[in-house]
Amino acid sequence: MDPFEQMAALGHEQVVFTRNDDVGLRAIIGIHDTTLGPALGGCRLYPYGSEAEALRDVLRLSRGMTYKAAIAGLDLGGGKAVIIGDPGIKSEGLFRAFGRAVESLGGRYITAEDMNTNVEDMNNISRETRWVTGRGKATGGSGDPSPVTAWGVFHGIRATAEVVFGSPNMEGKKVAIQGCGNVGYYLAKYLHEVGAELIYTDINGARVARCLEEFGGRAVEGDEYFGLEVDVLAPCAIGGIINERTIPKLRAPIIAGGANNVLNEEKRDGEALMEKGIAYAPDYVINAGGLINVYSELKGLPLAKAMDDSANIFSTVKEIINAAKGQGITTMSAANQLAEQRIETVARIKRMHIGS
Ligand code: NAD
Protein backbone atom coordinates (compact mmCIF):
# COMPACT_ATOMS: atom_id res chain seq x y z
CA MET A 1 0.00 0.00 0.00
CA ASP A 2 1.28 3.48 -0.73
CA PRO A 3 1.22 6.04 2.12
CA PHE A 4 -2.02 7.69 0.93
CA GLU A 5 -3.74 4.30 0.83
CA GLN A 6 -2.42 3.53 4.31
CA MET A 7 -3.75 6.88 5.58
CA ALA A 8 -7.11 6.29 3.94
CA ALA A 9 -7.37 2.74 5.33
CA LEU A 10 -7.02 4.01 8.90
CA GLY A 11 -8.82 7.32 8.34
CA HIS A 12 -5.96 9.77 8.83
CA GLU A 13 -6.31 13.49 8.17
CA GLN A 14 -2.66 14.44 7.86
CA VAL A 15 0.84 13.02 8.08
CA VAL A 16 3.87 15.28 8.30
CA PHE A 17 7.47 14.28 7.55
CA THR A 18 10.10 16.57 8.99
CA ARG A 19 13.91 16.53 9.01
CA ASN A 20 16.93 18.52 10.13
CA ASP A 21 20.29 17.00 9.25
CA ASP A 22 22.28 19.30 11.55
CA VAL A 23 20.77 17.62 14.61
CA GLY A 24 19.94 14.22 13.08
CA LEU A 25 16.17 14.72 13.15
CA ARG A 26 13.99 12.47 11.01
CA ALA A 27 10.44 12.47 12.35
CA ILE A 28 6.90 11.69 11.29
CA ILE A 29 3.86 13.28 12.91
CA GLY A 30 0.55 11.50 12.42
CA ILE A 31 -2.71 13.40 12.89
CA HIS A 32 -5.52 10.89 12.81
CA ASP A 33 -8.74 12.70 13.66
CA THR A 34 -9.39 16.17 15.08
CA THR A 35 -13.18 15.97 15.30
CA LEU A 36 -13.11 16.22 19.09
CA GLY A 37 -10.17 18.60 19.38
CA PRO A 38 -6.44 18.95 18.68
CA ALA A 39 -4.60 15.70 18.10
CA LEU A 40 -2.64 14.77 21.21
CA GLY A 41 -0.18 11.93 21.56
CA GLY A 42 3.34 11.16 22.69
CA CYS A 43 6.59 11.49 20.79
CA ARG A 44 8.36 8.14 20.55
CA LEU A 45 12.09 7.86 19.83
CA TYR A 46 12.89 4.48 18.34
CA PRO A 47 15.49 2.95 15.99
CA TYR A 48 12.98 1.78 13.37
CA GLY A 49 14.41 -0.55 10.75
CA SER A 50 12.92 1.54 7.93
CA GLU A 51 10.80 4.62 7.21
CA ALA A 52 7.96 2.30 6.25
CA GLU A 53 8.06 0.68 9.68
CA ALA A 54 8.09 4.10 11.37
CA LEU A 55 5.13 5.24 9.26
CA ARG A 56 3.14 2.09 10.11
CA ASP A 57 3.78 2.65 13.81
CA VAL A 58 2.82 6.33 13.81
CA LEU A 59 -0.37 5.60 11.87
CA ARG A 60 -1.38 2.77 14.22
CA LEU A 61 -0.54 4.68 17.40
CA SER A 62 -2.17 7.96 16.38
CA ARG A 63 -5.41 6.15 15.52
CA GLY A 64 -5.32 4.51 18.94
CA MET A 65 -5.09 7.94 20.56
CA THR A 66 -8.30 9.07 18.83
CA TYR A 67 -10.16 6.20 20.48
CA LYS A 68 -8.52 6.73 23.84
CA ALA A 69 -9.40 10.43 24.00
CA ALA A 70 -12.93 9.78 22.75
CA ILE A 71 -13.71 7.11 25.32
CA ALA A 72 -12.22 9.22 28.12
CA GLY A 73 -14.67 12.00 27.22
CA LEU A 74 -11.92 14.51 26.41
CA ASP A 75 -11.99 17.30 23.84
CA LEU A 76 -8.96 15.87 22.10
CA GLY A 77 -8.26 14.10 18.85
CA GLY A 78 -5.65 11.45 18.17
CA GLY A 79 -2.07 12.06 17.15
CA LYS A 80 1.38 10.65 17.66
CA ALA A 81 4.93 11.38 16.56
CA VAL A 82 7.92 9.15 15.96
CA ILE A 83 11.53 10.24 15.77
CA ILE A 84 13.63 7.67 13.94
CA GLY A 85 16.85 6.91 15.80
CA ASP A 86 18.65 5.45 18.73
CA PRO A 87 18.24 7.14 22.16
CA GLY A 88 21.93 8.12 21.70
CA ILE A 89 20.90 10.84 19.21
CA LYS A 90 19.13 12.83 21.93
CA SER A 91 20.22 16.45 22.22
CA GLU A 92 18.77 19.85 23.01
CA GLY A 93 18.93 20.63 19.27
CA LEU A 94 17.06 17.48 18.27
CA PHE A 95 14.09 18.26 20.48
CA ARG A 96 14.10 21.97 19.70
CA ALA A 97 14.04 21.14 15.98
CA PHE A 98 11.19 18.73 16.60
CA GLY A 99 9.49 21.45 18.66
CA ARG A 100 9.64 23.83 15.69
CA ALA A 101 7.93 21.25 13.50
CA VAL A 102 5.19 20.89 16.14
CA GLU A 103 4.88 24.68 16.33
CA SER A 104 4.43 24.88 12.55
CA LEU A 105 1.19 22.89 12.91
CA GLY A 106 -0.31 25.73 14.93
CA GLY A 107 -1.81 23.55 17.67
CA ARG A 108 -3.33 20.84 15.48
CA TYR A 109 -0.89 18.42 17.13
CA ILE A 110 0.14 18.49 20.80
CA THR A 111 3.07 16.34 21.83
CA ALA A 112 3.96 14.51 25.06
CA GLU A 113 6.34 11.92 26.49
CA ASP A 114 6.45 8.41 25.12
CA MET A 115 8.92 5.54 24.74
CA ASN A 116 12.51 6.84 25.14
CA THR A 117 11.47 10.46 25.69
CA ASN A 118 11.22 12.15 29.08
CA VAL A 119 10.43 15.33 30.98
CA GLU A 120 13.78 16.92 30.04
CA ASP A 121 13.06 16.34 26.34
CA MET A 122 9.59 17.89 26.74
CA ASN A 123 11.22 20.89 28.41
CA ASN A 124 13.49 21.32 25.36
CA ILE A 125 10.51 21.02 22.99
CA SER A 126 8.69 23.66 25.03
CA ARG A 127 11.45 26.18 24.25
CA GLU A 128 10.13 26.22 20.67
CA THR A 129 6.42 25.54 21.04
CA ARG A 130 3.67 25.73 23.61
CA TRP A 131 2.00 22.66 22.09
CA VAL A 132 3.67 20.24 24.48
CA THR A 133 2.47 18.55 27.67
CA GLY A 134 4.07 16.36 30.31
CA ARG A 135 6.65 18.95 31.24
CA GLY A 136 8.30 18.79 34.65
CA LYS A 137 6.57 20.26 37.69
CA ALA A 138 9.34 22.87 38.01
CA THR A 139 8.47 24.26 34.56
CA GLY A 140 4.72 24.39 35.18
CA GLY A 141 3.92 20.87 33.96
CA SER A 142 1.98 18.11 35.68
CA GLY A 143 4.98 15.81 36.22
CA ASP A 144 4.66 12.04 36.61
CA PRO A 145 1.24 10.83 35.33
CA SER A 146 1.48 7.39 36.97
CA PRO A 147 -0.49 8.12 40.17
CA VAL A 148 -3.40 9.34 38.02
CA THR A 149 -3.11 6.40 35.60
CA ALA A 150 -3.07 3.93 38.48
CA TRP A 151 -6.10 5.64 40.07
CA GLY A 152 -8.06 5.05 36.86
CA VAL A 153 -6.88 1.45 36.70
CA PHE A 154 -7.92 0.94 40.33
CA HIS A 155 -11.44 2.18 39.56
CA GLY A 156 -11.58 0.14 36.37
CA ILE A 157 -10.74 -2.98 38.37
CA ARG A 158 -13.49 -2.13 40.88
CA ALA A 159 -15.98 -1.66 38.04
CA THR A 160 -15.08 -5.00 36.47
CA ALA A 161 -15.37 -6.64 39.89
CA GLU A 162 -18.85 -5.17 40.28
CA VAL A 163 -20.00 -6.76 37.01
CA VAL A 164 -18.30 -10.10 37.66
CA PHE A 165 -18.74 -10.52 41.45
CA GLY A 166 -21.71 -8.21 42.07
CA SER A 167 -19.69 -5.80 44.22
CA PRO A 168 -16.81 -3.35 43.64
CA ASN A 169 -15.46 -4.05 47.12
CA MET A 170 -11.86 -5.20 46.81
CA GLU A 171 -11.34 -6.10 50.48
CA GLY A 172 -9.88 -9.59 50.65
CA LYS A 173 -9.81 -9.90 46.84
CA LYS A 174 -6.61 -11.34 45.37
CA VAL A 175 -4.97 -9.16 42.72
CA ALA A 176 -1.81 -10.20 40.89
CA ILE A 177 0.18 -7.27 39.50
CA GLN A 178 2.68 -7.84 36.69
CA GLY A 179 5.18 -4.98 36.71
CA CYS A 180 5.85 -3.02 39.90
CA GLY A 181 7.09 0.10 38.10
CA ASN A 182 5.44 3.50 38.12
CA VAL A 183 1.87 2.38 37.51
CA GLY A 184 2.11 -1.01 39.25
CA TYR A 185 3.49 0.54 42.43
CA TYR A 186 0.69 3.09 42.80
CA LEU A 187 -1.93 0.49 41.89
CA ALA A 188 -0.57 -1.75 44.66
CA LYS A 189 -0.77 1.20 47.05
CA TYR A 190 -4.43 1.97 46.27
CA LEU A 191 -5.44 -1.71 46.42
CA HIS A 192 -3.58 -2.21 49.70
CA GLU A 193 -5.43 0.75 51.19
CA VAL A 194 -8.76 -1.00 50.60
CA GLY A 195 -7.59 -4.36 51.93
CA ALA A 196 -6.85 -6.33 48.76
CA GLU A 197 -4.38 -9.24 48.91
CA LEU A 198 -1.48 -8.62 46.55
CA ILE A 199 0.77 -10.84 44.48
CA TYR A 200 3.59 -9.37 42.38
CA THR A 201 5.88 -10.29 39.57
CA ASP A 202 8.60 -8.18 37.98
CA ILE A 203 11.90 -8.91 36.28
CA ASN A 204 13.36 -6.21 38.52
CA GLY A 205 13.67 -7.75 42.00
CA ALA A 206 14.18 -4.42 43.76
CA ARG A 207 10.78 -3.20 42.58
CA VAL A 208 9.04 -6.31 43.91
CA ALA A 209 10.93 -5.95 47.21
CA ARG A 210 9.69 -2.37 47.61
CA CYS A 211 6.06 -3.43 47.16
CA LEU A 212 6.45 -6.42 49.51
CA GLU A 213 7.93 -4.19 52.17
CA GLU A 214 5.31 -1.45 51.88
CA PHE A 215 2.14 -3.41 51.13
CA GLY A 216 2.85 -7.05 52.08
CA GLY A 217 1.72 -9.96 49.91
CA ARG A 218 3.86 -12.43 48.00
CA ALA A 219 5.86 -12.67 44.79
CA VAL A 220 5.88 -15.13 41.90
CA GLU A 221 8.24 -15.55 38.98
CA GLY A 222 7.93 -16.05 35.26
CA ASP A 223 4.99 -17.89 33.76
CA GLU A 224 3.57 -18.89 37.14
CA TYR A 225 1.83 -15.51 37.00
CA PHE A 226 -0.58 -16.53 34.24
CA GLY A 227 -1.93 -19.62 36.02
CA LEU A 228 -2.55 -17.91 39.37
CA GLU A 229 -5.93 -18.62 40.97
CA VAL A 230 -6.68 -15.03 41.83
CA ASP A 231 -9.62 -12.66 41.34
CA VAL A 232 -7.78 -10.22 39.06
CA LEU A 233 -4.69 -10.28 36.88
CA ALA A 234 -3.49 -6.70 36.54
CA PRO A 235 -0.83 -6.44 33.80
CA CYS A 236 1.19 -3.25 34.35
CA ALA A 237 4.43 -4.07 32.53
CA ILE A 238 4.59 -4.75 28.80
CA GLY A 239 2.22 -5.45 25.90
CA GLY A 240 1.32 -8.71 24.18
CA ILE A 241 1.27 -10.83 27.33
CA ILE A 242 -2.22 -12.21 26.71
CA ASN A 243 -1.73 -14.45 23.72
CA GLU A 244 -2.19 -17.94 22.28
CA ARG A 245 0.43 -19.32 24.66
CA THR A 246 -0.80 -17.73 27.90
CA ILE A 247 -4.60 -17.85 27.44
CA PRO A 248 -4.86 -21.64 28.06
CA LYS A 249 -3.12 -21.16 31.43
CA LEU A 250 -5.47 -18.41 32.71
CA ARG A 251 -7.64 -19.11 35.74
CA ALA A 252 -8.48 -15.56 36.90
CA PRO A 253 -11.98 -14.31 35.98
CA ILE A 254 -10.77 -10.71 35.37
CA ILE A 255 -7.92 -9.14 33.42
CA ALA A 256 -7.65 -5.42 34.13
CA GLY A 257 -4.39 -3.52 34.31
CA GLY A 258 -2.50 -0.46 33.16
CA ALA A 259 -0.28 -1.88 30.39
CA ASN A 260 -0.82 -0.88 26.76
CA ASN A 261 -1.66 -3.47 24.08
CA VAL A 262 -2.23 -6.27 26.61
CA LEU A 263 -3.80 -8.48 23.94
CA ASN A 264 -1.25 -9.72 21.45
CA GLU A 265 -3.89 -9.92 18.73
CA GLU A 266 -6.90 -7.80 19.56
CA LYS A 267 -9.58 -9.81 17.77
CA ARG A 268 -8.35 -13.37 18.20
CA ASP A 269 -7.22 -13.04 21.82
CA GLY A 270 -10.25 -10.93 22.78
CA GLU A 271 -12.56 -13.62 21.43
CA ALA A 272 -10.60 -16.36 23.19
CA LEU A 273 -11.01 -14.54 26.52
CA MET A 274 -14.73 -14.12 25.86
CA GLU A 275 -15.07 -17.86 25.18
CA LYS A 276 -13.32 -18.63 28.47
CA GLY A 277 -15.72 -16.25 30.28
CA ILE A 278 -12.90 -13.93 31.35
CA ALA A 279 -13.83 -10.25 31.67
CA TYR A 280 -11.22 -8.04 30.02
CA ALA A 281 -11.20 -4.30 30.77
CA PRO A 282 -9.89 -2.80 27.49
CA ASP A 283 -6.41 -1.34 27.97
CA TYR A 284 -6.99 2.02 26.35
CA VAL A 285 -10.11 2.60 28.44
CA ILE A 286 -8.75 1.62 31.83
CA ASN A 287 -5.32 3.28 31.44
CA ALA A 288 -6.59 6.65 30.13
CA GLY A 289 -5.63 8.40 33.40
CA GLY A 290 -2.27 9.44 31.94
CA LEU A 291 -4.02 11.19 29.07
CA ILE A 292 -6.56 12.73 31.45
CA ASN A 293 -3.61 14.05 33.45
CA VAL A 294 -1.95 15.81 30.51
CA TYR A 295 -5.33 17.15 29.40
CA SER A 296 -5.72 18.74 32.85
CA GLU A 297 -2.23 20.20 32.47
CA LEU A 298 -3.24 21.74 29.12
CA LYS A 299 -6.39 23.21 30.62
CA GLY A 300 -4.59 24.44 33.75
CA LEU A 301 -6.78 22.29 35.99
CA PRO A 302 -5.65 21.00 39.41
CA LEU A 303 -4.47 17.44 40.05
CA ALA A 304 -7.61 16.79 42.10
CA LYS A 305 -9.73 17.30 38.97
CA ALA A 306 -7.57 14.83 37.02
CA MET A 307 -7.98 12.29 39.83
CA ASP A 308 -11.78 12.75 39.85
CA ASP A 309 -11.99 12.38 36.07
CA SER A 310 -9.80 9.31 36.25
CA ALA A 311 -12.13 7.80 38.85
CA ASN A 312 -14.94 8.14 36.26
CA ILE A 313 -13.25 5.32 34.36
CA PHE A 314 -15.37 3.21 36.73
CA SER A 315 -18.61 4.02 34.93
CA THR A 316 -17.08 3.75 31.45
CA VAL A 317 -15.60 0.31 32.11
CA LYS A 318 -18.88 -0.89 33.61
CA GLU A 319 -20.87 0.39 30.63
CA ILE A 320 -18.49 -1.30 28.18
CA ILE A 321 -18.46 -4.68 29.91
CA ASN A 322 -22.25 -4.68 30.19
CA ALA A 323 -22.63 -3.61 26.55
CA ALA A 324 -20.29 -6.39 25.43
CA LYS A 325 -22.26 -8.94 27.45
CA GLY A 326 -25.55 -7.68 26.09
CA GLN A 327 -24.44 -7.81 22.45
CA GLY A 328 -22.26 -10.93 22.70
CA ILE A 329 -19.20 -9.06 21.44
CA THR A 330 -15.72 -8.55 22.88
CA THR A 331 -15.16 -5.71 25.32
CA MET A 332 -12.65 -4.23 22.87
CA SER A 333 -15.36 -4.09 20.16
CA ALA A 334 -17.82 -2.56 22.61
CA ALA A 335 -15.27 0.10 23.57
CA ASN A 336 -14.50 0.90 19.93
CA GLN A 337 -18.23 1.27 19.20
CA LEU A 338 -18.72 3.65 22.11
CA ALA A 339 -15.74 5.78 21.04
CA GLU A 340 -16.95 5.92 17.42
CA GLN A 341 -20.47 6.88 18.55
CA ARG A 342 -19.12 9.80 20.56
CA ILE A 343 -17.03 11.05 17.62
CA GLU A 344 -20.01 10.76 15.25
CA THR A 345 -22.32 12.60 17.65
CA VAL A 346 -19.85 15.44 18.14
CA ALA A 347 -19.18 15.61 14.38
CA ARG A 348 -22.93 16.04 13.76
CA ILE A 349 -23.18 18.72 16.43
CA LYS A 350 -20.23 20.59 14.91
CA ARG A 351 -22.01 20.62 11.53
CA MET A 352 -25.04 22.38 13.07
CA HIS A 353 -25.66 26.01 12.18
CA ILE A 354 -22.76 26.14 9.72
CA GLY A 355 -23.48 29.05 7.41
CA SER A 356 -26.63 30.10 9.27
P1 NAD B 1 7.69 1.27 34.19
O2 NAD B 1 8.81 1.08 33.27
O3 NAD B 1 7.84 2.22 35.33
O4 NAD B 1 7.28 -0.14 34.85
C5 NAD B 1 7.21 -1.31 34.13
C6 NAD B 1 7.70 -2.44 35.04
O7 NAD B 1 7.50 -3.68 34.37
C8 NAD B 1 9.17 -2.36 35.39
O9 NAD B 1 9.35 -2.47 36.78
C10 NAD B 1 9.79 -3.54 34.64
O11 NAD B 1 10.90 -4.12 35.32
C12 NAD B 1 8.62 -4.50 34.58
N13 NAD B 1 8.70 -5.48 33.51
C14 NAD B 1 9.15 -5.30 32.24
N15 NAD B 1 9.05 -6.47 31.56
C16 NAD B 1 8.51 -7.37 32.40
C17 NAD B 1 8.17 -8.73 32.27
N18 NAD B 1 8.37 -9.39 31.15
N19 NAD B 1 7.63 -9.35 33.34
C20 NAD B 1 7.44 -8.69 34.50
N21 NAD B 1 7.76 -7.41 34.68
C22 NAD B 1 8.29 -6.75 33.66
O23 NAD B 1 6.45 1.63 33.28
P24 NAD B 1 5.05 2.28 33.72
O25 NAD B 1 5.10 3.73 33.48
O26 NAD B 1 4.66 1.76 35.06
O27 NAD B 1 4.08 1.67 32.61
C28 NAD B 1 3.66 0.33 32.67
C29 NAD B 1 2.70 0.03 31.53
O30 NAD B 1 1.59 0.92 31.60
C31 NAD B 1 3.30 0.23 30.13
O32 NAD B 1 2.71 -0.71 29.26
C33 NAD B 1 2.84 1.63 29.75
O34 NAD B 1 2.76 1.79 28.34
C35 NAD B 1 1.45 1.64 30.37
N36 NAD B 1 0.95 2.98 30.67
C37 NAD B 1 1.60 3.79 31.56
C38 NAD B 1 1.08 5.05 31.84
C39 NAD B 1 1.73 5.95 32.84
O40 NAD B 1 1.10 6.92 33.27
N41 NAD B 1 2.97 5.68 33.27
C42 NAD B 1 -0.09 5.48 31.21
C43 NAD B 1 -0.76 4.62 30.32
C44 NAD B 1 -0.22 3.37 30.07
Q: For residue 57, is it within any domain?
A: yes
Which ligand 1 atom sits nearest the alpha carbon of residue 185? Answer: 26
**163 and 111 in one domain?**
no
Burial class for 207, CB neighbours closer than 10 Å (0-12, 13-18, 19+): middle
Q: What pLDDT shows up at residue 356?
A: 61
**84 and 9 in one domain?**
yes
Q: Over 90: is that where the pLDDT of 173 sits?
A: yes
pLDDT digits (tens, 9 = 90+) for 293-306: 999 989 999 999 99
Which ligand 1 atom sits nearest the alpha carbon of residue 145? Answer: 40
pLDDT digits (tens, 9 = 90+) for 187-215: 999 999 999 999 999 999 999 999 999 99
Which ligand 1 atom sits nearest the alpha carbon of residue 150? Answer: 40
- The structure's pTM equals 0.93
Q: For residue 100, is it within any domain?
A: yes
Which residues does ligand 1 sit against, CB inside 6 Å?
A: 145-146, 149, 178-184, 201-204, 207, 236-239, 258-260, 287, 290
Q: For residue 71, is it within any domain?
A: no
The preferred substitution site among 154, 187, 203, 303 for testing ligand 1, maximizing ligand atoms within 8 Å of CB, is: 203
**263 and 211 in one domain?**
yes
**122 and 24 in one domain?**
yes
**238 and 197 in one domain?**
yes
Q: Over 70: is that where the pLDDT of 166 sits?
A: yes
Which ligand 1 atom sits nearest the alpha carbon of residue 283? Answer: 44
Q: How confident is the model at residue 143 (pLDDT cuts 50, 70, 90)?
A: confident
Q: Atom 34 (ligand 1): residue with closest C-alpha? A: 260
Query: What CATH number has the domain bearing residue 95?
Result: 3.40.50.10860
Arithmetic mean of pLDDT over the chain: 95
pLDDT digits (tens, 9 = 90+) for 175-190: 999 999 999 999 999 9
Q: Over 90: is that where the pLDDT of 138 sits?
A: no
**328 and 195 in one domain?**
yes
Q: How far is the CA of 184 from the centre of ligand 1 (A)?
A: 7
Q: How confident is the model at residue 26 (pLDDT cuts 50, 70, 90)?
A: very high
Among 128-137, 160-169, 176-185, 193-202, the least confident range: 128-137
pLDDT digits (tens, 9 = 90+) for 42-80: 999 999 999 999 999 999 999 999 999 999 999 999 999
**196 and 101 in one domain?**
no
Q: For residue 347, is it within any domain?
A: no
**CA-based nearest residue to 338, from 11, 67, 41, 35:** 67
80 is an active site residue: yes
**162 and 109 in one domain?**
no
The preferred substitution site among 238, 243, 293, 294 for testing ligand 1, maximizing ligand atoms within 8 Å of CB, is: 238
Query: What CATH number has the domain bearing residue 248?
Result: 3.40.50.720
Among the options 80, 90, 173, 318, which is catalytic? 80
Q: Atom 36 (ligand 1): residue with closest C-alpha? A: 259
Per the structure, the count of domains in the chain is 2
Domain of 58 in residue numbering reads as: 3-62+77-138
Q: For residue 252, is it within any domain?
A: yes
Q: Over 90: is that where the pLDDT of 15 sits?
A: yes
Q: How far is the CA of 181 from the centre of ligand 1 (A)?
A: 6
Q: How far is the CA of 259 from the centre of ligand 1 (A)?
A: 6
